[in-house]
């Protein structure tokens, strides 16, 4: 089974609508990631077939839960979940933030080769990055805890409608109970990723 066939089969297990062109872009991204990973060590996952499940599908399944037009993926690493989501939603804008130069170099190459006009890679530490406009959503699967995420990223979302969207494994009850009083959980979603072992949750938080 080719990578394209694998991805198409997995998407058929979901309610996602992904075009043939988007499938092609997602596969090109995996191929670039696999190629660059040999020299740059961008991800611990070495097998492209595993990348399809653990990186691409894991990112895409968040898509239907997004609200708004502008998002920042903090600690994006090699572009996860930002790149797959930007491919799925070309009408939305994504800033991919990371402090490591080699990751941003890789992401600039991805943006160039895939002609992704809605993606802006930025090399910066999160506390030093101050956008002209706040974002509708802060996405991340990089933070060790929810309190770290809201503390470091509080300046990136608007009070009116901005959301923190944290990708977690098991439901983080202890982390939620430790949140400061001005942060509340508005939604939590159990995400089912086809063929992925283990639990996945998206925790949606707002600040008051």
Tell how strand 183-190 and strand 163-168 pair up: unpaired
Q: Is 206 annotated as a binding residue?
A: no
Q: Is 126 annotated as a binding residue?
A: yes
Q: What is the pLDDT of residues 86-139, one digit of tens each?
A: 999 999 999 999 999 999 999 999 999 999 999 999 999 999 999 999 999 999
pLDDT confidence of residue 87: 98
The whole-angstrom separation of Cα 186 and Cα 33 is 34
CA nearest 71: which of 24, 118, 27?
A: 118
3-class state of residue 166 by DSSP: strand
Q: Please determine, for residue 67, whether its predicted confidence score (pLDDT) is greater than 90.
A: yes
CATH number for position 201: 3.40.50.150
> Using CB atoms within 10 A of its CB, is residue 196 exposed (0-12), middle (13-18) or buried (19+)?
middle
Q: Please determine, for residue 14, whether its predicted confidence score (pLDDT) is greater than 90.
A: yes
pLDDT confidence of residue 22: 98
Q: Is 82 annotated as a binding residue?
A: no
Whole domain around residue 190: which residue ranges?
Answer: 3-207
Q: What is the pLDDT of residues 168-203, one digit of tens each?
A: 999 999 999 999 999 999 999 999 999 999 999 999
pLDDT confidence of residue 159: 80
Band (pLDDT 50/70/90 cuts) for residue 158 is confident
Q: Is 96 annotated as a binding residue?
A: no
**Structure-token pair, residue 121:** 């890679």
Q: Is 165 annotated as a binding residue?
A: no
Residue 13 Cα distances to 10, 16, 59, angstroms? 5, 9, 15
Band (pLDDT 50/70/90 cuts) for residue 142 is confident
pLDDT confidence of residue 195: 97
* Number of domains into which the chain is organized: 1
């Amino acid at each position: 089974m080719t990578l394209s066939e694998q991805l198409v089969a997995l998407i058929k297990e979901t309610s996602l609508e992904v075009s043939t062109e988007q499938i092609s872009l997602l596969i090109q991204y995996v191929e670039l990631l696999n190629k660059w990973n040999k020299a740059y060590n961008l991800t611990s996952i070495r097998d492209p077939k595993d990348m399809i499940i653990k990186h691409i599908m894991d990112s895409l399944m968040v898509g239907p839960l997004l609200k708004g037009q502008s998002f920042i993926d903090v600690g994006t690493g090699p572009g996860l979940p930002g790149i797959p989501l930007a491919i799925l939603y070309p009408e939305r804008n994504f800033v991919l933030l990371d402090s490591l130069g080699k990751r941003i170099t890789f992401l600039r190459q991805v943006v160039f080769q895939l002609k992704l006009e809605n993606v802006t890679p930025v090399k910066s530490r999160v506390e030093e990055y101050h956008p002209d406009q706040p974002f509708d959503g802060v996405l991340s699967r990089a933070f060790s805890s929810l309190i770290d995420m809201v503390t470091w990223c509080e300046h990136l979302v608007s009070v009116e409608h901005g959301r923190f969207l944290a990708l977690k494994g098991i439901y983080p009850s202890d982390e939620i109970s430790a949140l400061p009083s001005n942060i509340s959980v508005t939604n939590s979603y159990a995400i089912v990723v086809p063929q992925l072992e283990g639990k996945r949750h998206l925790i949606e938080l707002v600040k008051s």
